Structure 1
Amino acid sequence: MATFDMRNKRAEAGTIASVATQAFDVVVIGGGPAGMAAALAAHKAGARVAIVEREQHLGGILRQCIHPGFGLSHFKQELTGPEYAQRFIDQVHATDIALFLNSMVLGIDSGEPAEDTEVHTVTLMNPAGMLQLTGRAVVLAMGCRERTRSEIKIPGSRPAGVFTAGLAQRYINIENLKPGSRAVILGSGDIGLIMARRCTLEGISVEGVYELMPYANGLRRNVKNCLDDFGIPLHLSTTVTRVIGHDRVEAVEVSQVDDHLAPIPGTERIVPCDTLLLSVGLIPENELSVAAGVELDPRTRGAVVDQSLQTGVPGIFVCGNVLHVHDLADNVTCESERAGAAAAAYALGTGAGAVPDCELTVSPAGIAGYALPGRITAAALTKLNFRVRRPVDAACVRILADGEKLFAGKVRAFKPSVMESFPLPAKVIKQALDLGASEIVLSVDPVEEA
């Protein structure tokens, strides 16, 4: 392998050309559940596949998720996170998929077109040096990261003892470290709920889970199994307004919030603790996506994709939590298999859709927070994914084009914690095209009960 002299203040013009290059049909960035599922699907379709993973092991975040609840849909068994990941790791190892572990991707740059298909170059760095992988298709499966204290701007001092819930999970489950003895958890996302139970089982007193919204943000089963079954209180419409302590957290101030989510003066109270865990949302890891010219949806902070999960950059596909945050790993697997198969079809020239049949945007309305895919490029049966912004007991999904209702679902309840899907028939897409529409609207509208 050619070396890259990092002592140079700037690379000479011919330096990158001297970096060793390996060619594949599909390059998958990320070796978690999404990346492995996409790689396996692409390999099954006959593509030469590589996986690039920045950690030393495949499996991603699932390696630290030792609780059960995985695999019920995909494997028809209840597995822990490591067990679920190991199923895919074993499948990957049984193939000739090339693995580049402990490798950090530096960028994705498009090369010259070859045989009418654009070739992408993935530049990575690992302990052996710099390497370039070329592929006709690239699948982005980098996952997501947790929002931190700085992103939600909690006032107060900055002592030790403030962790994201995922970091605390890693400390306990992987590093065998105890983050504290008396914890407060801010946010009722699934990982926060799961960590409330995990801390309790490890002998850490959980003073309570505090949630800004008037409803829990995690799955109902996690509220029951992780809080109710352990007698851990959930305080809704309440948030942490100040962190107290010098060297180490000594307490937090919590306050109730009004309908506008602003703290209500006079409701403040002090909760003694030595640890604050934050479960306040996840953000797709899209720095590489943006650098590659991929358009992001401001609602999901993930890529704008079509039905095949291809972005606006030809040959770049996206799946898993880097696209939109999922509630179940099984759903990540299903979506990622679609992306991997589509990437292989694109790379091998075996699939339709290289030239779009149509061009429609998909937009959310009503209480729908987002709709995905954001683009429709073929008049074919399409599964639309969405989440609502607030819980509602009775609402109806309507599909609109140019203000005309084309399709409607049944009236039922919706919750923000559940990622919903809605089938969009090909005939409805054709109706929108016949109307001359450029946009399809997915609207979730509350229904007044008689």
Structure 2
Amino acid sequence: MTYPDTYYKRTLSDGRERASLNGTVECDTVVVGGGLAGLTTALELVRGGQKVVLLEEKAVGFGASGRNGGFVSPGFATGSDDIARRAGAAAARDIHRLSIEGMEYVRQTIADLAVADAGMTPGIMSVLRYSAPDDLKAYAASLANTYGYELNFLDTAEVRHVLKSERYFQALRDPRAFHIHPLNYLRAIAAEIERLGGRIFEQSPAVSADLDAAEKRVRTPAGEVRARQVVITTGGYTGSLLPRLKRSYLPIATYVMVSEEAPDLIASAIATTDAIGDNRRAGDYYRVVDGGRRLLWGGRITTRAASTEGLVRELRAEMTGTYPQLKGLKTELAWSGLMSYARHLMPQIGPIAPGVWCCTAFGGHGLNTTAIGGKVVAEGILGTSDRYRLFKPFGLVWAGGIAGLAVAQLTYWKLQAQDWWRERAA
């Protein structure tokens, strides 16, 4: 099995390996990339009656889709004001509604496929590391008025009753949001695609393609797929197949660790099954797993290769700085994954040439947005809707290459400093 050694690999319910592509196959649509965006696109296309082939370089769910924090909630990597500035206020509201739909799509898919091993657990809590109750209440009121989407406000005493930390103040709890085992969810979708007649080839990287003619050809080391439509969904692992696409986003690494089994110690700090995220730009996110026996903790981002061991020391410093009582909690596993960020911090969804589509750059907020992205791309290919046009203002803008990575890292450090100062002033 080609997965990195993560908590999700160790608790994987379906470890089947699939054959690589050998020879020539024909289909209606070929999907490149076996993460959540690619799998959702393929699932919706086979449900719509298409012959679909999916190519995955490693194994289904190998990338960030299968090793992330598992949070499923509405929203995007950027805020609604930035979205409205590019797309207009009305379109921004429609786009946010899509993000809610994406969350509900994941919930419904888990129910439809009876994916018990996804471990769907309700509740995500967004906590403040400084006191600003009026801001939270105003935000909650805005969501309720605009979308009919209700969040629960928790004051400082209520927050600290379940999160035993003096670092936290008020919070908003989303009772509709939830968290899951993402790799088990992805593997279940893959199995459903195959049950419906779709074909999935693992260990089959797309190494070259002819995309200009009506019949597209995508080649792997030992085979070729011929199709009328091509969908690229490779995210932070995009290679040179489409240079224009690769240039349009920055690969950003994030880091996750999982603790040893220590249910009593963990419960002394965290007395909730809700997933937790703080309000900083690249803040901590964490949740108890294994029925409260372990703690999964993520955070930090880098724009270049970094030592996972070194970043884990930083994550542990964040954890123990938030919860001093967890100082003795040992880390058992740690890993990293690559996300893709466009300069505008929005997904790149839609056609980029006749018969060529992309669904990528979900910027660390992917379990709901990859789902709806794959769905609207499939709708566009099937001709059942043109909702993908909502993402037209967020196209393939050059991300700046090496200079863009440097600027992104400097921006991240600047935002970290601003977060630090704001907490100090609280």
Shorter-chain TM band: 0.3 to 0.5
Question: Structure 1 or 2: larger helix share?
Answer: 2
- TM-score, normalising length: structure 2: 0.41
Compare relative contact order (CA 8 Å, sep 6+) and give the higher one, 1 or 2. Answer: 2
